[in-house]
Amino acid sequence: MAVKLTEKTAEQLYGIDGITLYTAQAGIKKPDQNDLTLIDIAAGSTVGAVFTTNRFCAAPVRVAKSHLFNEDGVRALIINTGNANAGTGEQGRQDALAVCAAAAGWAGCLPNQVLPFSTGVILEPLPADKIIAALPKMQPAFWDVAARAIMTTDTVPKAASREGKVGEKHTVRATGIAKGSGMIHPNMATMLAFIATDAKVSQPVLQLMTQEIADETFNTITVDGDTSTNDSFVIIATGKNSQSEIDNITDPRYAQLKELLCSLALELAQAIVRDGEGATKFITIEVQNAKTRDEARQAAYAVARSPLVKTAFFASDPNLGRLLAAIGYAGIADLDTGLVEMYLDDILVAEHGGRAASYTEAQGQAVMAKDEITVRIKLHRGQAAATVYTCDLSHGYVSINADYRS
């Protein structure tokens, strides 16, 4: 029951010159569904990537990090669902390397030019043999098919495209896919997201841009506050649109391209929240007039992570004291609660440390009945702001996570 999220058709997505996609059924967890995806990348492309900060990061994350900066360039991404290859120790690393070697043989590149990605259950050995056996069976696929092949508990495939001017004469295209629904509280990037563009960008500049975009998009969402072991966000720049390379962040095209990719990444990040496990509402928490951006984000996350706030949204109940309580425990030691203003959409709910005189329960109920709601909190301490996206906490969340492995 995703919140206002529909599957994109192939016609709504751009092909990206220099990228070929393949999918297959490896039978890792369930039969008769694609669970293996390979993204073949043309020579000369550059790749930027950011990964989870979870200390129990998965074996493929460790391997992908070590392969990312190899001097021959990245030529393929291999992605499986059904098993995260996390909490699998040294055997997990060997399995990830074996998958890279087999994918390299198939793609005609070196093993260290392959980045592996896995998502699914943690603490179970990766069935690398099934993946390797499935490689020869892969079929070419378009982005819509790949978006479906990387899903786990997702109910809607997540894909998006953008086209825009970068530089005076050139049109740049970008297409991305993402998966994620639970264990969503990114601290680098969330679960798996892959964006490809035909722009030409040097690797160090693309790496920086990837980090900046992750911080503004995937790092602003939370479903359940659980940071995954496998979060990975990758941007591929194939350079096929014949522009000169963007090799400097002061190049005006850097900002143009970043804006275009940021818009795409934000759509994918929000799609993950809209499809958050059990989600019935899409909630935007904006904190304004904070002293620092970190402080603003801290307050926004306190509200966004609170189970009491999330169940109130699920119930469509304007039990808004729960939001004030969350702001109060967000850890801003010298917060003057008398200055805090809180709005639900455009309705002023709280000010001067209490309920606004103008607020009525009927106003609150009207907003809470919607399936997209914005909470705006003004701290009146400075000029910084942050926005965080989340969903409600429903019976669906409990059911999905109590049943996930069965």
358 is in an annotated binding site: no
Are 159 and 184 spatial neighbours (Cβ–Cβ below 8 Å)? no
Alpha-helical runs (H) found in 223-344: 252-274, 293-305, 307-314, 321-328
Contact call for residue 399 and a second copy (CB under 8 A)? yes
Contact call for residue 298 and a second copy (CB under 8 A)? no
Round to whole Å and give the CA distance between 39 and 136: 14
Round to whole Å and give the CA distance between 80 and 199: 27
Contact call for residue 279 and a second copy (CB under 8 A)? no
71 is in an annotated binding site: no
Contact call for residue 169 and a second copy (CB under 8 A)? no
Contact call for residue 355 and a second copy (CB under 8 A)? yes
Contact call for residue 289 and a second copy (CB under 8 A)? no
Q: Quick check: is 190 catalytic?
A: yes
Closest CA to 44 of 279, 206, 225: 206
Using CB under 8 A, which of the segments 35-43, 65-73, 327-335, 382-390 binds a second copy?
A: 327-335
What is the full DSSP assignment across 16-75?
Answer: -TTEEEEEE---SSSSSS--EEEEEE-TT-EEEEEE---TT--HHHHHHHHHHT-TT---
Contact call for residue 185 and a second copy (CB under 8 A)? yes
User: Hey, which bits of 148-292 come out as E strands?
Assistant: 158-165, 171-179, 192-197, 232-237, 282-290
Task: Give me the sheet containing 232-237, strands edge to edge.
Answer: 46-51, 232-237, 192-197, 171-179, 158-165
Match 């990537």 to its residue by tokens.
49
Q: In the complex, what is the shortest distance from the CB of residue 379 to a second copy, in angstroms, rounded to a whole number?
A: 11
Among 322, 376, 378, 381, indicate the residue that binds a second copy (CB under 8 A).
322
Cβ-based nearer residue to a second copy, 106 or 301: 301
Using CB under 8 A, which of the segments 40-48, 179-187, 199-207, 365-373 binds a second copy?
A: 179-187
Handedness of CA 85, 138, 206, 72 (dihedral sign): positive
Match 């603003």 to its residue by tokens.
296
List, in sequence order, every residue forming a beta bridge with 232; answer none if it has no partner.
Answer: 51, 192
Are 22 and 138 spatial neighbours (Cβ–Cβ below 8 Å)? yes
Q: In the complex, what is the shortest distance from the CB of residue 391 to a second copy, in angstroms, rounded to a whole number?
A: 12
190 is in an annotated binding site: yes
Contact call for residue 222 and a second copy (CB under 8 A)? no
Contact call for residue 292 and a second copy (CB under 8 A)? no
Question: Within positions 23 to 82, which residues make up the interface with a second copy, using CB under 8 A?
Answer: 53-57
137 is in an annotated binding site: no
Residue tagged active-site, from 119, 190, 210, 222 = 190
Residues annotated as part of the active site: 190
Annotated binding residues for substrate, written as ranges, equal 152, 179, 190, 277, 401, 406
Residues that bind a second copy (CB under 8 A): 53-57, 84, 86-92, 121-125, 182-183, 185, 187, 224-229, 305-308, 311-312, 314-315, 317, 319-322, 324-330, 332-333, 335, 337-338, 350, 352-355, 393-395, 397-399, 401-406
